[in-house]
Amino acid sequence: MPSAFSNSADDTAAASPRTRPQRMGELATLPVFFDLKGKRVAMAGGSDGTAWKAELLAASGARVDLYCEAEHLTDEMRIVLALSFADGEIRHHDRPWALDCFDGAALAVADCESEAEAQSFYCAAKGAGVPVNVIDKPAFCQFRFGTIVNRSPVVVGISTDGAAPILGQAIRRRIETLLPATLTGWAKLAAKVRAEVMDRLQPGPARRAFWERFSDEAFTRKAPDDVAEADARRFVRDLVNRPQAGGRVTLVGAGPGEAELLTLKAVRALQAADVILFDDLVSDDILELARREAKRMLVGKRASRDSCRQEDINRMMVQFARAGKHVVRLKSGDVSVFGRSGEEIAELKREGIPVAIVPGITAASALAAGFGVSLTHRDRAQQVRFVTGHSQKGGLPDDLDWQALADDHATTIFYMGGRMAPRIAAELIAHGLPAETPVAVAASISRPEEARLVGTLATLAEIVGRIGIERPILIGVGRVFADCEPESLAGFEPERDRGAGETSRLQAKAS
């Protein structure tokens, strides 16, 4: 078993005077959420900005008293008042604000044209002990509204501390795409089952197992119905009778290496994991997205190095899942492309352990993106083949159909084929593929240390030798690479060997 599995917390503490990471960085402002149901808010001004704030406050359950002469109301404000007239959420007082308007108010909001008026309103509200906000005048604000993503009862507030409201809106748009509209229904269902969860499940693994499973379904299923509620309550009963019932395994594709190429579903799985068994090629940036409390264990398999046996990996997955843990098996690329996921799935099914698959971007797609080509350019290739360059015996598989692979109208991608490059070139040429057929070779795809070179089948071995056969190499063969610009290795530094000497990131988490 690799030494990275050992607990090295003592070594980590000795290496640095800081024994624990800083838990919270400096905050420009404190995000808080006011409960305004049935509370009174004093407002001054009749502008469009005030209209929006009045609607927002009314939507939060507040009773808004608006102080403004009728002649100063904008059309937008008149519409808001008309719509809220029946419910009385916003009451208009046809007069300027005065000191009495702050009596019993929970908040005070105003839109003031001049600095002098803003200062006057601010001082009056502050003197009455009422938190105050003067719209678009940060110097006279004790609190800010920020930008909101509404999936009530889930509400997300975004603040740039007044520095860049447009940036806040851009962030909101990003978050809007991450949170499905059905989240509202799931949050309401959470409120319905919460009492049963709190009453019947002890704090700790059982409760977390329930909420992690519930959260996964909130992001992957449609709007909840009676069946979803029944399933949730049934899972509570299962956890009461068998605390380990929450054990499961998720096979996650980590993509070619760059963290931004992870799928949203992969990120959610990492953030819900108790244990992460990760391959040697998974980058540090991707592991940084995982749940901080998760146990991380390197189970990488690399040629010519001490490696964790597949049987050991299978055993660990079963062992942790039976203990009620959510195990994420994190694989480079896509789990279903030369990732040996078939063996793992079969073992988990034999043991009766639930298993899910989260696909990832396979290295061949990243290769095409890096070289700026289409693997299926209709004028040059009518098919794509993925071929392993590393069998269980360590070399090329003995049963490859080289005659079929030597097809001038196809694109062939050899995975893990660095050491076999000379034989790959020789076999393809011997079976009829022209020696001048374009090839593209890449190592550490999508990472800062990525290296790319292009050439021909005749020079394939030389190209791979320049990049380094010890690196994770992908070889593309076919006419689709004919127009690739020659790449340079200038400034390229070979990837540091992740052998026995690299333990710092593992020591910090292995325990």
3-state SS assignment for residue 199: helix
CB count in 10 Å sphere of residue 167: 12
Interatomic CA distance for residues 270 and 272, integer angstroms: 5
Spatial CA neighbour of 193 closest among 234, 162, 164: 234
Catalytic residue set:
279, 301
In 169-286 the beta strands, taken as DSSP E runs, fall at: 248-253, 275-278
For the chain, what is the largest distance between any 2 Cα atoms, rounded to a whole number of angstroms?
A: 95
- Which amino acid, one-letter code, is at 142? Q
Quote the tokens at residue 38. Answer: 């049935």
Strands 154-158 and 147-151 turn out to be: antiparallel
Tokens standing for residue 296? 């991380």
Is the CB of residue 43 less than 8 Å from the CB of residue 64? yes
Report the C-alpha gap between 505 and 376 in whole angstroms. Answer: 40
Cβ partners under 8 Å of residue 169, min gap 6: 147
Distance, CA of 309 to CA of 388 (rounded, Å): 19
